[in-house]
Amino acid sequence: MALLDILEFPDPRLRTKARAVAPEQIDDAFQALVDNMFETMYAAPGVGLAATQVDVHKRFMVIDVSEGKDHPLVFVNPEIVDKQGSQVYQEGCLSVPGIYADVERADAVTVRALDRHGQPFELTADGLLAVCIQHEIDHLDGKVFIDYLSPLKREMVRKRLAKAQRERARSAA
């Protein structure tokens, strides 16, 4: 397995809308990519990673919100078919390192998807899992959680990230 590079905001590739995964694309190479995405997500550390974040513009994501990192979930071509309630949750993102902000999302969602082997399933989730599903689907649609912030806060985030990137570049030189 291998760690993948995670794109960081404001990289324009994060705005690419992912294309559906065709059944014939769920092959050995796809399985290896899924394994690499889990390894990357756990190492980051994070609880979710969309293919878009690793510059693969296919519609799938990996999630594991379990304490023991032992309940990996793969969602291929996910589609939210029902939303209920609303909650405000402080979100962070591997593509927006070090930034956290309150985002309002549905409290519970029902999602239809294929698993990593192409088998269809439906799952109803609430709490952190529901937030994570919505957050990662946003990535597949070319959205980043800071899109929910005011323009002023978004610009502050952009400047803070640019400064952090410059500092990392200086220390690596």
Domains defined along the chain, listed by start: 12-172 (3.90.45.10)
Catalytic residue among 8, 104, 136, 155: 136
Q: What is the largest CA-CA distance in the chain?
A: 50
Specify binding-site residues for Fe cation.
93, 135, 139
3-class DSSP state of 117: coil
Q: Where are the beta strands (DSSP E) in the chain?
A: 48-50, 60-63, 73-84, 87-93, 96-105, 108-114, 120-126
Task: Give the tokens for residue 70.
Answer: 């032992």
- 91 flagged as catalytic: no
Residue 169's pLDDT is 84
Sequence-ordered list of residues with C-beta below 8 angstroms from that of 100, at least 6 positions apart, any chain: 90, 91, 92
Specify binding-site residues.
93, 135, 139
- Tell me the pLDDT of the chain (173 aa) as tens digits: 799 999 998 899 999 999 999 999 999 999 999 999 999 999 999 999 999 999 999 999 999 999 999 999 999 999 999 999 999 999 999 999 989 999 999 999 999 999 999 999 999 999 999 999 999 999 999 999 999 999 998 888 888 888 888 888 888 87
Residue 63's pLDDT is 98
